[in-house]
Structure 1
Amino acid sequence: MGQSGSNEGPSATIQCVTRDFLQVRFDLEPFPDEILQKILSFLPPRELVTRCRLVSRRWKHLVDSPTLWKLKYGFDPWNVIHGGDGWVVENNRCPVEGAESQTCFVTSFFWCSKSQTIDLLKEGFCEHYLDVHQPPIAISDWVAGREDCGCMYEINVHLLAADRQSIKTFSNPTLQIDQWNNQIYHQVSHVFENYGPGVRFVQFSHKGKDTLFWKGWYRARFTNTSVTVRCNVNENQRVACEHSAFHWSRHR
């Protein structure tokens, strides 16, 4: 990212050098949000958070938006196990207020699970920072049932060391939603704090199924799943990894 002066903060321009060694600046402000987000998605996470996020209120909103992180990570991170008729993606039957993504993963009549492991070093954190400052790591998941069918839901999150041994674990007692429910989403959340040195990965997994074994997709619905490392931007290291329907954004 270019800067307009040695004593100024980040600017909304990029600087390129031509074959003739001419410096050319491009103003990115005229671009619509969807184009600017596509451009920003090619930058490393640390640059997005410690530089781009400080350019303006508009850029802060774009960097904090799950849309940019969906563009950046695509379909790759989820490891999926299909039970029954497998996973499908549908629109939310009941909206999650304030959520950008109003689509959901829907499970089937046997356990359907998804898991993902986040490498904190690849996301821009150094070992010293993680070990000394131990920034809070917040996880959040939203789950709902279908009105005419009960369902079950489980979540497990591990903070892992470099050798993949678990340092801290969060698991929620099996959540059961009865038949003839109101379809409203329930948030399951937890914040890891004071977890000690050595954390290098966050392993997130959740699964669901119905309670009536009906063929099709009448079961637990997941949406707007997120893992966020909460750090002070003044500490010059911060990253928010929003994994809310990352891998299904192209279906919306």
Structure 2
Amino acid sequence: MISIEDLPEHILVDVLTRIPAEDLILNCRLVCSRWRDLVDWPVLWKRRLRRHGRDLSAWGSDLYYIFCHLEKNLLKNPCGEEGFDFWEILETKEGQWKIEDLPKADSEKFRGTDFLQRNYYVKDRPQQDIKKCFTACNGFCYKSQLITLKDHGYWDELLDGTGSTIVVKDWFYYRPGCRYRLYVGLLAADFTVLQEYRSEDLYGRDWERNGSWQWRKVTHTFYSCPRVRHIFFQHEAQQADEERGGEGGLRITHSSITLGPFSLEESDSSSESSLVSSECSCRR
């Protein structure tokens, strides 16, 4: 006898789109792994949107569920575990990017600073240790990624009708003579700039005078981002203090971009905080 389990996938998806969202999440998703995967599939929710209307303001908890299951770090290879894969590298004549091992003590300090906003306490997954970092040595060098949101499951109506927020985070560690800047641009389908953020031009010697060698976090939140289709993310770094004999450079790791219906960050759209490094005492 034929059962609902024998239905082709496209027909089963069509059936599931007709079920109230609460039943989908609390009941249908628990039937089996196949149904769970279909309920979590963005295509199913896109079809529900077309079937039940495009006014996303009435979707409420449905939107929260969608964003939670889509949420991830949109930046690939944020810590250098895969070398320079996925990054567009631009080095000047003197500048050079390197991959370095992160000191174990520093790696342990990063635990609990996960990029996930909403899923961190509910997702059953081991926390990934950060073991690598990018290091900018000598002159100016740049590193960038271009993110296309539809490649990560975000469709146009979801982006335009929800007042979504985009949260950017970056961690960097100064050494003497270093310089750091971050640029993030939200781009439309034709790559025109809709919104942008430029961090302050930060110098390592400012903290050296204050005796405050630490890992620093820069964060920025973009609120209400209709028409955004791409995100451009770029570091600018320099290690130019020749009198130090070329010792080290500016470290960058744990960069992230996440997209959600709201932000759990501080009320300010931009902020800077610190994480004490294991090297603070010996770098003063």
TM range (shorter): 0.5 to 0.7
Q: Sequence identity, in percent?
A: 25
Amino acid paired to 1:164: F
Summarize deviations over 1:2-53 as a string: whole Å, max 9, x none. Answer: x9xx9531577469xxxxxxxxxxxxxxxxxxxxxxxx9xxx9858xxxxxx
- Structure 1 window deviating more from structure 2 (215-224 vs 197-206): it is 215-224
- Seen in structure 2, the aligned counterparts of structure 1 residues 10 and 208 have a Cα distance that, compared at 3 Å, is farther
Query: Cα offset for 1:208?
Result: 0.7
Within 5 A, what are the aligned runs for 1:67-86? Answer: 76-83=85-92, 84=94, 86=96
Q: Any idea what SS the aligned residue of 1:87 has?
A: strand
Asked if 1:8 corresponds to 2:28, the answer is yes
Aligned residues: 184
Give the aligned CA root-mean-square deviation in angstroms: 3.7
Unpaired runs of 5+ in structure 1? Answer: 16-39, 48-62, 233-252
Q: Aligned residue for 1:35?
A: none
Query: Cα offset for 1:76?
Result: 4.1
- Seen in structure 2, the aligned counterparts of structure 1 residues 10 and 226 have a Cα distance that, compared at 3 Å, is farther
Summarize deviations over 1:157-188 as a string: whole Å, max 9, x none. Answer: 00000110000001111111125865421000
Asked if 1:154 corresponds to 2:184, the answer is no
TM-score, with length taken from structure 2: 0.54
Q: Aligned residue for 2:144?
A: 115
Q: Aligned residue for 2:102?
A: 92
Q: Any idea what SS the aligned residue of 2:241 has?
A: coil
Q: Which of 257, 260, 270 is equivalent to 1:230?
A: 260
How many Å separate the matches in 1 of 2:152 and 2:72?
17
How many Å separate the matches in 2 of 1:86 and 1:215?
15
- Seen in structure 2, the aligned counterparts of structure 1 residues 128 and 82 have a Cα distance that, compared at 3 Å, is same
Q: Which of 157, 180, 195 is equivalent to 1:168?
A: 195
Query: Cα offset for 1:217?
Result: 5.7
Q: Aligned residue for 2:235?
A: 206
- Seen in structure 2, the aligned counterparts of structure 1 residues 118 and 187 have a Cα distance that, compared at 3 Å, is same
- Seen in structure 2, the aligned counterparts of structure 1 residues 90 and 174 have a Cα distance that, compared at 3 Å, is same
How many Å separate the matches in 1 of 2:241 and 2:155?
48
Q: Any idea what SS the aligned residue of 2:152 has?
A: coil
Structure whose alpha-carbon radius of gyration is higher: 2
Q: Is the 8 A contact 1:137 1:229 kept in 2?
A: yes
Higher helix residue share: 2
- Seen in structure 2, the aligned counterparts of structure 1 residues 199 and 217 have a Cα distance that, compared at 3 Å, is farther
TM-score, with length taken from structure 1: 0.61
Unpaired runs of 5+ in structure 2? Answer: 6-15, 17-26, 44-69, 114-128, 263-284
Q: Any idea what SS the aligned residue of 2:137 has?
A: coil
Q: Any idea what SS the aligned residue of 1:164 has?
A: coil
Q: Which of 160, 163, 166 is equivalent to 1:137?
A: 166
Q: Is the 8 A contact 1:160 1:200 kept in 2?
A: yes
Query: Cα offset for 1:204?
Result: 0.4
- Seen in structure 2, the aligned counterparts of structure 1 residues 89 and 76 have a Cα distance that, compared at 3 Å, is closer
How many Å separate the matches in 2 of 1:11 and 1:88?
49
Q: Which of 209, 221, 226 is equivalent to 2:251?
A: 221
How many Å separate the matches in 2 of 1:45 and 1:227?
21
How many Å separate the matches in 2 of 1:135 and 1:155?
22
Query: Cα offset for 1:210?
Result: 1.5
How many Å separate the matches in 1 of 2:101 and 2:143?
19
